[in-house]
Amino acid sequence: MAALISIATALPEHQITQAEVLAILAKARGAALPARLEQILGNSGIEQRYLACEAAYYLEPRSWTRRAAIYNRVGTGLARKAAAEALEKAALDASDIDAIVLISTTGTMTPSLPSRMIEMMGFNPSTQTIPVFGNGCAGGVLGLRLANDLASTAGGQNILLVSLELCSLSYDYSQFDKKNMIATALFADGCAAAIISGKPDRAMAPSFRAFDQKTWPDTRDMMGWEIGTTGFDLVLARDIPTFVARDFAPFCDAFLAAQDLRMPDLSEPACHPGGGRVVEALEAYFAPSIAGIPATRDVLRQHGNMSSPTVLFVLEKLLAEKPDKPILLTALGPGFTAALAILDPQGAE
């Protein structure tokens, strides 16, 4: 298994509070908001978020062309900033990287963003580029698994993982159906980058112990995108907190048992939060052995649900606290898919 050498995060410049979202929506609608929308926004567990554009942009008609241009401009800037910081933290140069993996489900471009980063940031022209689309909120953990596998090949490689999402580009405030209310209440923009290395001299860094993934049949309506006339439109049709208790919990139990781990053996988990009710369901699963997941709650409160990079924001926060026990990583995403990992904070045991 490979080592996690560094994590860095980047956010767009436009910050907005939930209270401001309520006021902007009410003004755009020309009337008081439906009680249901106020309830969703109020119970989201989010105080503020960061968006790719100023609030006024999201009240204008959408188009594929304009949204693609924003993804290109803002996304490229965030990826470059996070990648540069991750390299600096790892004490590596761009030329030391063997492959760049991009995880993103909220936009795309050709040539791919990793291909553009080669010239932009001075990576070796032979650097492998691997853009991965479609993993949604599970993409952070699944991306770490892919980076770990690549890092462990060819005698050990250095992999740059970039997880970039501009979820706000899917907002459509002209519609007040349930799925758009949830998108308004939860989703935000952000980017995280990580360096994963299979080089033998990195043995004392935090090291991955195990990964697992499961996709349940007949669950495609739970989460995803549909291709609409003006961009990606959210699909969110079923109760994820109920799924956590009924389906995710036994899968995670089996994963931990296979690693000879019990809940008391773990540090605070790094979870993709989803939303406030999903966090509550996860906390109920971990209790009483683990008393809450405050780092997950704090990232959700300060940044919202940024889709794939969110779990990396949480992991960065936890590693700064220098835990002395294994960290469980969890994420749920389209499929419907669960992704799990174990990270030993001071190398493999």
Question: Of 202, 221, 236, which one is at a domain's C-terminal end?
Answer: 202
Q: Assess whether 158 and 237 both reside in one domain.
A: no
Q: Assess whether 236 and 328 both reside in one domain.
A: yes
Q: Assess whether 198 and 222 both reside in one domain.
A: no
CATH number (domain holding residue 158): 3.40.47.10
- The structure's pTM equals 0.94
Q: Assess whether 96 and 116 both reside in one domain.
A: yes
- Sequence-distant (≥ 6) Cβ neighbours of residue 44 within 8 angstroms: 18, 185, 186, 275, 276, 304
Residue 296 is assigned to a structural domain of this protein:
yes
Tens place of pLDDT per residue across the chain (349 aa): 999 999 999 999 999 998 888 787 777 777 777 777 777 777 788 999 999 999 888 888 888 899 999 999 999 999 999 999 999 999 999 999 999 999 999 999 999 999 999 999 999 999 999 999 999 999 999 999 999 999 999 999 999 999 999 999 988 777 666 667 777 778 999 999 999 999 988 768 999 999 999 999 988 777 777 777 766 777 766 688 888 889 999 999 999 999 999 999 999 999 999 888 899 999 999 999 999 999 999 999 999 999 999 999 999 999 999 999 999 999 999 989 999 999 999 754 4
Give CA–CA dist 328/315, Å, rounded.
10
Q: Assess whether 117 and 191 both reside in one domain.
A: yes
The pair phi, psi for residue 303, each rounded to 5°, is: -130, -10
Give CA–CA dist 28/93, Å, rounded.
48
| Crossing angle (nearest 10°) for helices 178-186 and 18-29 | 140
Q: Assess whether 251 and 270 both reside in one domain.
A: yes
Task: State the Rg of the chain over Cα.
Answer: 19
Q: Assess whether 28 and 52 both reside in one domain.
A: yes
Q: Assess whether 184 and 316 both reside in one domain.
A: no
Q: Would you give the end-to-end CA distance of the chain in angstroms?
A: 11
- How many domains does the chain contain in total? 2
Under the phi-then-psi rule, with left for phi > 0, alpha for psi from -120 to 50, and beta for the rest, what region is 325?
A: beta
Residue 349 is assigned to a structural domain of this protein:
no
Give CA–CA dist 71/51, Å, rounded.
12
Full domain range(s) for residue 73 = 3-202
Give CA–CA dist 300/308, Å, rounded.
13
Q: Assess whether 58 and 161 both reside in one domain.
A: yes
